A = this chain, B = another copy of it.
Amino acid sequence: GGVAEAKTLEDVLKEKGVITEADYKEVTKSKPIYYKPGKGFTFTAPDEKFQLSLGGRLQVRYTFTDLDNNGTTGDSSKWEVRRMKMWLNGYAYSKDLTYLLQVDFVNGSSSKLLEHAYLNYRLLDEVQLLAGQTKIPFGRQWLNSSGAQQFVDRSTASDAFRPGYDAGVKLHGDIARGFATYEFGLYGGAGQSVVRTSNDNAIAARVTVNPFGKMAYSEGDLDRSAKPKLSVGANYFRDTLKATYTPATSSTALETNNLTFAGSSGWLGKGLSTFTASEKIDVNTFGLDAAIKWLGASAQAEYLVGQADGQDSNATLRAHGFYAQAGYCLIPGTVEVALRYSYVDPNRDKSNDLQSDTQGALSWYINKHNLKLQGDVTNSHKQNGTKTSTDDMIYRLQAQVTF
């Protein structure tokens, strides 16, 4: 039940014939302030050369983890503000020069506070140049906002292989009105808010083909597409990272762990003991992905491969993983069920180190992804080397509001 919108002064003056229909159009062309769900409040300068949107997104989450084998850790019951983002974005000096500043205040004590900080110049829709920090274009699910997921959060496969944020420059564009898109970027290569100290940099490239027209990354077919939508993507990321091996503790550390795949839950982070020399490691990752939506049903899958080669030791670490998920809106645009299977093999040359997650989700989209409640249940099957494998159960409930 919505509140009837009050008449504006312009409405009243038009009705009374004080101003003409043409006057009305002229004076209401520029709205100094308006609100669009998901974007926040938007302010526009009278000359329409400047625009600023200010908004935020909150995720409150409860997680209960029921461990199969309660060793030293034990079950956990967590309440957390999972994400508390704030953004300022818009255009400045020209509608073709856009900017985005986004922080996540949950990361107050770390270099991960700042997420996006870039400017983008659109020469044509087909030729755009972005400079600054933003998501490295690798991985469909990673590129889809954490706020537009079908589950409470991304899959473990996406988490294990994605690079994360980095600063650099990206050439990108939409070809033939979104029939295809391309992104080619050059990055520092040390990850989010970390500045490189060597002359090794990273490159990333991604293309998508969308035979039925442009398709947003947002998961779930909340708009109940009358015609099918399909997107197929492929991406590549290459970087070189310095590793330092400490013989005394037989441990290897990377120059940075702010690239997600190099962190504690990433394939490279987990497999670092492969490298028993202080050396530079060449990292190559590939990915293929596809998504489809039709009549309230949606499906998405991604296959990801990573390989790391020590320049001195000649040691090689090879990893791969994938996920596939599907959802269906039981009540169009409002209630959706979804299933997902995610698989990660962080070291293909090591046995009994797989992790596979089977997940079911139920989502209540009160205002699409802008205001929603989501719950999911995960059976997380982990192989533990020579020990018995475990099946942990994870129960999550999350509320999200975009304001």
Interface residues in chain A, defined as those with a beta carbon under 8 Å from any beta carbon in chain B: 2-3, 5-13, 16, 18-19, 23, 26-27, 29-30, 32-35, 37, 40-41, 43, 45-50, 52, 54, 56, 58, 60, 62, 64, 73-81, 84, 86, 88, 90, 92-93, 97, 99, 101, 103, 105-114, 117-119, 131-133, 166-169, 186-188, 193, 195-201, 366-367, 370-371, 399, 401-403
B19 near A80: Cβ-Cβ < 8 Å: no
Closest beta carbon of chain B to A46's beta carbon, Å: 6
Please give the count of copies of this chain that the complex contains. 3
Q: A5 — which chain B residues lie within 8 A by C-beta? A: 46-48
Closest beta carbon of chain B to A189's beta carbon, Å: 8
A78 near B403: Cβ-Cβ < 8 Å: no
Q: A371 — which chain B residues lie within 8 A by C-beta? A: 92-93, 97
A403 near B114: Cβ-Cβ < 8 Å: no
**Residues A79 and B167 in contact in the complex (CB < 8 Å), given A56-B101, A92-B371, A197-B73:** yes
Nearest B residue to A200, CB-CB? B77
CA distance A106 to B116 in the complex (A): 11
Nearest B residue to A43, CB-CB? B41
B16 near A16: Cβ-Cβ < 8 Å: no
CA distance A58 to B245 in the complex (A): 37
Q: A10 — which chain B residues lie within 8 A by C-beta? A: 9
